[in-house]
Every structure is written in C-alpha cells, then in structure tokens.
Structure 1
Amino acid sequence: MEENEIIKKLPKWRQYTLMELPTFLILTALALSGTVVSDLIVFQTCRKILGEAKNYKCEILHTNSSSEEAIELVRLVQPLASYILMWKGLVEGVLPAFLSLFLGPWSDKYGRKPLLIAAYTGSFLMYVLMTILSKWDVDPWIFLIAFIPSSLLGGVCVLMLATFCYLTDITNNDTRAWRLAWFEACLSIGLVVGIFIGPMIFKIYGYTKLFIVSSTCSGCSLLFIIFFVPETVFINRENQKWGSVFDFKLVKELIETSTKEKVGLNRKSLWGCIITLALLIVILNGDISVGYLFTSARLGWNTIEYSRFKGLSIAISIIGTIIGVRLFGRTFGFSDTALAMIAAVSSFTASMITAFTLKPWHMYTVLFAGSFGGVLSPTIRSVLSKSVPPEDVGKVFSLATSVEAILPLICGPIYTLIYAKYLPPFYPSPVYLLSSTILLFIIIIICYIEKSINKSLTIFIPLGSDEHSVS
C-alpha cells in the first residue's frame, strides 16, 4: 500500500510509537480512573442508601476502610453497587460489540484512521463527562451517562480492533508476533503507570482533578492520532466516498473468510484461538468487575492498597511476558502453543490461590504464581495470525475482536450475579473458582489447537523467532 511505503520511511523509533504511544496514554488514563470510578460508585451508593441524615458515615470508607464498621458498610452497599457496575459494563460493551462486526471489514476498504479517531474521541468525551459529574452529589446511576458517548463511538473494543488491524497492516509474518508482544507490553506499562499514580492523585486532589488528568491523557492521545498517525489503507478519495458502516455484505465477507476452505486456512486452529481470546476477556472483565469489591470485603483494602497490588501485578506480568517470549521462545525453542500452555497453567494457579485467599500475603503469592499469564494473549494472537493467509489476517482480527466483545456481554454479568449472591465471608470465592474452571477449558483448547496444527502439518516457530510459519 502507498501509505505503508510512507511508514517504512519513518525512523525505526517512530514506527514503534505509531500505536504504542497513544495506546500507552489512553491506558494510563483508563488505569488512573478505573478503580476510582468503582470507588466513586460505591461511595455515592453508600450516600444514597444511608440518606442525607447518615451519609456522613460513608467517609469511613476513605478514612478507615479496614475497620469493622467500614467492612460492614461495604457489605451493605456492594449488592447495589455491583449491579450498577454490571450495567456500566453493559453500556460500554453492547453497542461496541455490535459495531465491531461491521467496522472491521469496513476499515479494510475505507481505512483504519477513522476508527481510531472515533474511538479515541469517545474516550476523551467520557472523561470530560466524568469530570463534570464528579463535582456534584448525584445518584450513582447518573454516572452511566458518561459512558454513552464512548459506547456510541466504539469504545475500547473498536479502539483495540483498529489498533490490531493497523499493526497487521504495517508488519509481516516475520515481525508481527514480536510487535504484538511489544504492543501489549506498552499497554501494560500504561496500566502500571496509571495504577500507581492514580491513587496518589485521588488521595491528594480528589475525584474531579483525577478525571481532569485522565481527560488530558486521552486528549493528547487523540491529537497524536489525528496529526501523527498516517493511514495504512489507500483509497482514491476523489472517486470513492465512505460507504455505509452497516453494510451486511462486509459481515458476509468476514464470515466467509473464516469458514470456507482455502489454501493456508486452518479453521480449527483459527476458531480455537478466537474462543481462547474471548474467554480470556471474560476472565479479565470478571476480575475488573469484582476484583476491588472482593479485596475490599475480604481483606478490607482501600483503593490505594488495591491499586498498589494491581500495579505490582502488571509490572511482574510485563517481566514474565518478556522472559517467556524471549527466554523460553528464542533460547529454549518453545513453540507458540507450548508458551501458551505455560501461561494458561500459570494463570490457573493464580486464580485458585485467589479463590482461597484469607490473608493479604495470599494475594501477593498470586503475583508470582501468575507471572507468566501475560504470555497467553500475544502467543495466541501469533498462532491466530499464522492460521490464515496473509491477506486475510485483518479480517480475522476483526472477527476475533467481535467475539471477544460479544462473549463477555453474555458471560460477564454472571460474575457480578455470583459475587452478589455469595459475598465474603463465603469461602472459597465462587467467582475465582469460575475463572479457574474457564482456564482449565482454555488448557484443553490449547491442546486441541496443537493437535490441529500437527495434523495439518503446519510448522509453527517460537514467538521470539525471526522466521515464519511454513504450510
């Protein structure tokens, strides 16, 4: 493509910032406010339940969250707060999941940049609205309004879809796997920065100024996309106008790409990878929905303690991912599926420990048990990209992103409902036993993918290698 020639002429360091820098900024914004949004909803729910006469008691959630009184208050508030958070997840996920079915194939014809601009604009508007709403003492359900613009413009779902398609456009089989791993490392670094800085900003300046910082980060990422990121899909704009987003012919082409037999297509491996990625998102969304609530009710942690734990968790995951990809992949010659198996077993062990957690040190044991869990996503995406002909990789990533968005909408609320039904001190935690069960299923799928690869006589090389697969 003409635009790809432009990208090739950029300095190497610039090529490695095209998607990584704006994603780092937007993930920093997300991490800055993620736990604080949950805390704000819990706090405002407390004020609503206790009423004007007693809502001053809710301050103990910030001043002495580990006290018996605070823990009892959390248990009173969490059932309603968890339902609000569940609806927040649905608002953020339903429409983007539907849109992603159309926008992936649409971007193959009309460009990636419109999707990127739309998704980053939605995130910016969301943080601006949260900044405004956090200044008022409003009903906690009102906060859902802030997430509507982001949903209408595609949200994180379309943002990731456009990003993976963009990275596919500017890489080949030799470079794609490592570039995906590097991208996810940058994504994780953004999360670490936000998670560690967010609670400090919140403690010193409160909700509103924290959302101002998130708005600034998302605004800068939007400006970077607009002015510094070139298009990768060439169209003659003088003779061709943008087509309708809701073109069902595009969806038909996407489905045919992943179902009809053709040279270079391993359908069993393809769908195994897609299902695995979707189940990983289910687990991730479930932990996002109930993780803070669980540690608050079980261990009495506040936002600062929980954010410190999550930040350290992601930092260790980044190290584990780099070691897993480079050391096991390049030095020991492990295949992509072998690396994925190691990651899945690591994540399963961590989930089981979490389910049986009673003490804070138990949670910190989880960090080391699950240190290789971050290897799973890039290795599975690497296998996915090698399961189809090169010209169809973009479409397949579109399908994968759509399924990743849709399945959590069906399964995600289960986490909230189970948690609300079996609140701590119920032991062990059923929500993390559910995650462990899903991870066992993922291990079985990885074995199935390996068998399919061997059967089709497709040779896969390690993720860290510079070679590519041969069919």
Structure 2
Amino acid sequence: MDDSETDTLIAVSKPKDKPMKSKKQRNLALGSVYPEVIEPEKDFLLPQKVKRRDSSNHYGTIPEMEPEIAADSPGPLSATLLMVPIVAMLGLALGIYEPLIVELFKSRICEYNFNFTRTICLDLANFTGNNASDIGAETTEATAKITAISGLLSSVPCLFITLFMGSWSDNFGRKLPMALPFLGFILSAFVTTLAANYPLHPYILLLSPFSMSLFGGWVVLLMAVFSYVADYTTAENRSTAVALVDGSLLVGKTAGILAGGQLLSKYGFTIPLFIFGTLPILAVSYVLVFVKERGVFGTSQQFSCAVFTTKNLLDNAAVLGKKRVGNTRKHIHLLLLSTALGLIFLGDQTALQLITEKSPFSWDVATFTKFISVQNVAVGLALALLVPLFRVLAASDIWIAIISCISAVLCSYGYAFSNSTATLLVAAATGILRNFHVVLARAMLVPMVARDELGKLMSAYATLQAIAPLFQSLFFGSIFALTVAWWPGFCFVLGSFAFVLSLAIFCYIDWDRQNEIYSL
C-alpha cells in the first residue's frame, strides 16, 4: 500500500465536518492503517518523530519506524563517557573481590579442617610444622573445589534474571538494571565482612558470591550498560563507544586485581573489604544522580515492576527467532556463535600459567601475574585507542574483526610453539588485537535489530559472557591434562581453529551483506 492509498483511506475514515486538529487524533486515524505509527504519550516517553524507510522487504512488513532521541538527551560521546565510570568501578570491585574471596576460602578451610589459628592459616605457605606439605596440598585442593562452586553461584542466578531483564529494559529503561546489581555487591560485602571477622563454616561463605548475583550481578549490569550505549550511538561511532567501555572494564579489573593482591598482603582483609564495600555504594549513587534515563521506544504501557513474567521471557527468546530481512537472522546467530567461541578460547590464562611454570620458562606466580596484568592493560588501552584510529582510517567494523581473528590465530600458534620467554612475549605482542572481534561483534549486532529489541539482544550476549568461563575450564583443563606430557601447548593449537572459524564467519557475513537488500 503506497502513501496515496493511505491518504485516501484516512480521508474516507473521517467526515469532513469533524477535522482532526490534535496530533493524537491524526495518529489514531493513521493507526487504523499502520498501527505502529501511534505516538506514545509525551509525559512517559521521549519525543519521537516517525521516519519511514522506503524498504519493502521480502516479508511484506510495514515501513520501519525509527524513533529520534530528544534534544536534551546525551549525545553519543556523552552517553559513552557516562558509562565509563560505571564499568571502571565494576572492574575494580570484581578485581579486588577475586583474590579476597579465594584467600578467605583458604583461611576458613584451614581453620575448620585442621583447627589451626588464623595467623597460621593466613601464612600457610610458610608453615613448617608436621605434614606441612600435605596440609598445604589438601587446603589448596579443597579451596579449588569450593571456588568452582562459588563460580556457579555467582553466575547461575545472573543467567536466570537476564533472561527476563532484557525485555523489561526495552520497555521501561536501562537505569534500574544498572543500579540494582550493585545492591547485590553491597550485600556481598556485608556477608564477606562477617566471614572475615567471625569463625564461620567455609560453606557459609558461599553466601557472598550468591548474594552478589541476586540482583543480576555483572551480567545484567553489562547488559544494561551496553544497551544504553546502543540507544544513543550510531553506526559511525558505535564501535568506538563499545570499545571504549569494554577497554575501561578490562583496565579497571586488572587494576583491581593488582591493588587487591597488594593490599591483601600488606593490610589483611580490612582495607580490601572497605574498598569492595564502598565501590558499589559510589556506583549506585552515580547511576541515580548522573545517568539520564533513556526514553522507552515503541510502547504505551504503564511502568511495571513485574520482571519475571512469561511475556518477558518469551519476548527475550523471540528476538533470536524473528524473521528478518534476507539472511539477517542467520547473521545474528553466526555473530553470537563467533562471540561464544571468542569468549571461550580467549580464556587461556590458566593453561598459559601452567606452561610458564615449567622449563624453559620457570616463572613464579608473581612473574606470571605481572605478565598478564601488563597484557590486559595493553589490550584495554588498544581497544580504546586503536578502534577509533581504524575508524578514522575508514576501516569497517567487520574488517577490524577479521584482522583481530588473524591476530588471535597468530598468538595461539605463538603460545603453542614458544620455547623461551622472548618468543612468548612476541606471541603476546601479536595477540594485542585478538579481543577486538568479540567486542566489535556486539556493535555489529545492534543495527540488525529494532530499537525496542536492543535489551533482548544484549541479554543474549551477556548470557554468553556468563556461560563462557564454565567451558573455558572444561576445555583448557581437560585438554591440557591429556597432552601436557607430550605437548603442553597443544590446547592452543586446537583453540586456534575456533578463531579460524570466526574468521570464516566474518568473511561470509561481509560477503553476504554486499547484497543491496541490506542497504535499503
């Protein structure tokens, strides 16, 4: 149906003696032909101006509606910079928490199992009593088991909540999903403080990671942050914005791990706990005061606190099965597959640490920690600086991702065949871009869905981020154990095939999207 037919229908539907003076009346009339054109109430949503894209696609759907952002809303740069302190504080909190909770687990297991004093358990590495080596080994093994349980408790509730929260945030905004997860961090800090000051059973300490995830944890928080960035950015600046936020998160977490380890060794649990408890309070305050709520696109329903509804769950799932222009649905699935492969096979730090402990490297834990810290900071800064540079040089997101996959393959083979510290450092240098394709996949996914589906899509991405660590330990732990006797680096060779597959995915999508139907 063309515009002339639309005008004719509207003219017939209203008597001449009752002109439609108000915009609401005109929109209601137009809604009889195109229901989606009805403009929402202005006191609830950002002002919108309907744009029609002349794109009659395969499926005979109506022209796509593209809402505009209100004039007083933050621009792309401002919206991105608003998110940087949030993810930086999240990274710092997570970085400080990791060594803190491991040492608490170790101390409580030592005290409970062997009836040692806290002083001995906190310095168990230097314990020289009877059966010292056996006690140390048993404590380490028990700590590893309870830490694995801790990882599950800190991720499973997040996965459940994000399945509902993505759809909810598309209807009612991103601010609440940004603030709520930090309440879980505050509750976790309270539980951890109790465990640090009272001789509680080690398994009671598991309430700490569980409480951190009760309000969605870092999974829901990152879903909301990147949905917010996607709301305000365009194709020209989105990849730069996503890279800046992701880089800030990586640098913040690395700084937290370094600071947490140093503070823990010098001051015990008190100072790290204080910082870990203060950061989420500052973050919640920052979100409530400085983050401007996003307008809600495409809905006229009143605000609702009902998150865990069947509708939200089904809407969240439907975004991946929805029929779209050409092969767009397939492209979304392939980009998510590439993201999953990248998240899993970039998590090779444990295998790399085990390799460097052996000859010819013979690194100690401190040396490896410095190496990983420098590498993570370099990657974070590269994300924030090189992606904008590539964009200035007119490189598309997909070609940056292709270069990133090549960097990942070279780095994996370098790790596999390294026989000295020098060659290992060269391999790490070639991998400075290897994280880029995972980050840019997020930016490439955004224009493939409608504005009111961004939260649902970011929810799917965040789900992969939460699941990936479980597969990391499964792959690198099992493969390394099977091949360590004859080739410790073999797991990196196998991992490189995942990056080759990702490379093929990006090349295929780039080729397929040359079709003119995607530019209409």
> Matched residues in 1 for 2:269 and 2:391: separation?
44
| Residue 386 of structure 1: aligned partner | 447
Paired residue type of 1:378: V
Instruction: Tell me the residue number matched to 1:457.
Output: 514
Distance 1:407 1:371, change over 3 A: closer
Moved more, 181-190 or 128-137: 128-137
Task: Determine which of 86, 92, 96 is the counterpart of 1:28.
Answer: 92
SS in 1 for 2:509: helix
For 2:220 and 2:299, the matched residues in 1 are separated by: 23
Greater mean alpha carbon deviation, residues 142-151 or residues 440-449: 440-449
- Counterpart in 2 of 1:107? 169
Deviations for 1:90-128, whole angstroms, at most 9, x for unmatched residues? Answer: 101112112211110011112222211211111222233
* Per-residue deviation, 1:371: 1.3
Of 496, 501, 505, 1:444 maps to 501
Which stretch shifts more, 84-93 or 350-359?
Answer: 350-359
- Equivalent residue letter for 2:364: W
Match of 1:346 in 2: 407
Shift of 1:32: 2.3
Select 1:249's aligned residue among 285, 288, 311.
Answer: 311
Q: CA deviation at 1:329?
A: 4.3
AA in 2 matched with 1:443: V
Matched-pair contact (CA < 8 Å) for 1:341–1:443: no
Calculate the TM-score normalised by the size of structure 1. Answer: 0.80
Distance 1:451 1:358, change over 3 A: closer
Matched AA of 1:204 = K
**Distance in 2 of aligned mates of 1:7 and 1:207:** 48
Letter in 2 for 1:448: I
Distance 1:16 1:255, change over 3 A: closer
* Local SS of the residue matching 1:457: coil
Q: 1:14 to 1:335 in 2, by over 3 A?
A: closer
* Structure 2 match to 1:37: 101
Q: Select which of 398, 414, 430 maps to 2:474.
A: 414
Asked if the contact 2:93/2:279 (under 8 Å) is kept, the reply is yes
Letter in 1 for 2:99: T
The answer to whether structure 1 residue 268 and structure 2 residue 330 are counterparts is yes
- 1:135-154 superposed matches below 5 A: 135-154=197-216
Q: Distance in 1 between matches of 2:299 and 2:311?
A: 21
Say which is worse superposed, 261-270 or 198-207, in terms of deviation.
261-270
- 1:2 maps onto 2:46 in alignment: yes
CA deviation after TM superposition for structure 1 residue 27, in Å: 0.9
Superposition map of 1:296-445 within 5 A? 299=362, 301-302=364-365, 305-322=367-384, 324-331=386-393, 333-354=394-415, 364-406=425-467, 408-409=469-470, 411-412=471-472, 414=474, 418=478, 422=481, 428-429=487-488, 433-434=490-491, 437-445=494-502
The corresponding residue for 1:196 is: 258
Q: Is the 8 A contact 1:44 1:137 kept in 2?
A: yes
- State the Cα deviation string for residues 269-303 of structure 1 (Å, max 9, x = none): 2111112222333346674x77778877995634x
Q: How does 1:6-155 map to 2 (within 5 A)?
A: 8=72, 14-45=78-109, 52=116, 56=120, 59=123, 61=125, 76-155=138-217
Relative to structure 1, is the Cα distance of residues 156 and 130 closer, same or farther in structure 2, using a 3 angstrom cutoff? same
- 2:116 is paired with a residue whose SS is helix
Following superposition, the deviation at residue 151 of structure 1 comes to: 1.7
**5+ residue gaps, structure 2:** 1-44, 48-67
1:466 corresponds in structure 2 to none
Kept after mapping to 2: 8 A contact 1:316/1:368? no
Q: What is the identity percentage for the equivalent residue pairs of Structure 1 and Structure 2? A: 20
**Which 10-residue stretch deviates more, 50-59 or 343-352?**
50-59
Q: Distance in 2 between matches of 1:363 and 1:451?
A: 32
Q: Which has the higher helix share?
A: 1
- In structure 2, what is the equivalent of residue 217 of structure 1? 279
Q: 1:225 to 1:296 in 2, by over 3 A?
A: farther
Q: Assess if the C-alpha contact under 8 Å between 2:408 and 2:499 holds in 1.
A: no
Measured in 2, the distance between the counterparts of 1:340 and 1:236 equals 32
Partners of 1:89 and 1:59 in 2: how far apart? 25
Q: 1:406 to 1:325 in 2, by over 3 A?
A: same
Q: Which residue of the partner structure matches residue 463 of structure 1?
A: none
- 2:519 maps to what in 1? 470
Q: Is the 8 A contact 2:442 2:461 kept in 1?
A: no
Structure 2 CA distance for partners of 1:414 and 1:425, relative to 1, 3 Å: closer
**CA contact 1:265–1:388 (8 Å) conserved in 2:** no
Cα distance change on mapping 1:215 and 1:247 into 2, 3 Å: same
RMSD (Å) for aligned C-alpha atoms: 4.0
Point out the structure with max Rg over C-alpha: 2
Q: Are the structure 2 counterparts of residues 401 and 185 from structure 1 closer, same or farther at C-alpha, using a change threshold of 3 Å?
A: same
Q: Is the 8 A contact 1:168 1:394 kept in 2?
A: no
Residue aligning to 2:39: none
Cα deviation for residue 363 of structure 1 reads 5.8
Distance 1:74 1:339 in 2: 47
Structure 1: unaligned runs, 5 residues or longer = 460-468
Q: What is the TM-score normalised by the length of structure 2?
A: 0.74
**What CA distance in whole angstroms lies between the structure 2 residues aligned with 1:380 and 1:23?**
19
Partners of 2:418 and 2:431 in 1: how far apart?
15
- DSSP-derived class of the 1:96 partner: helix
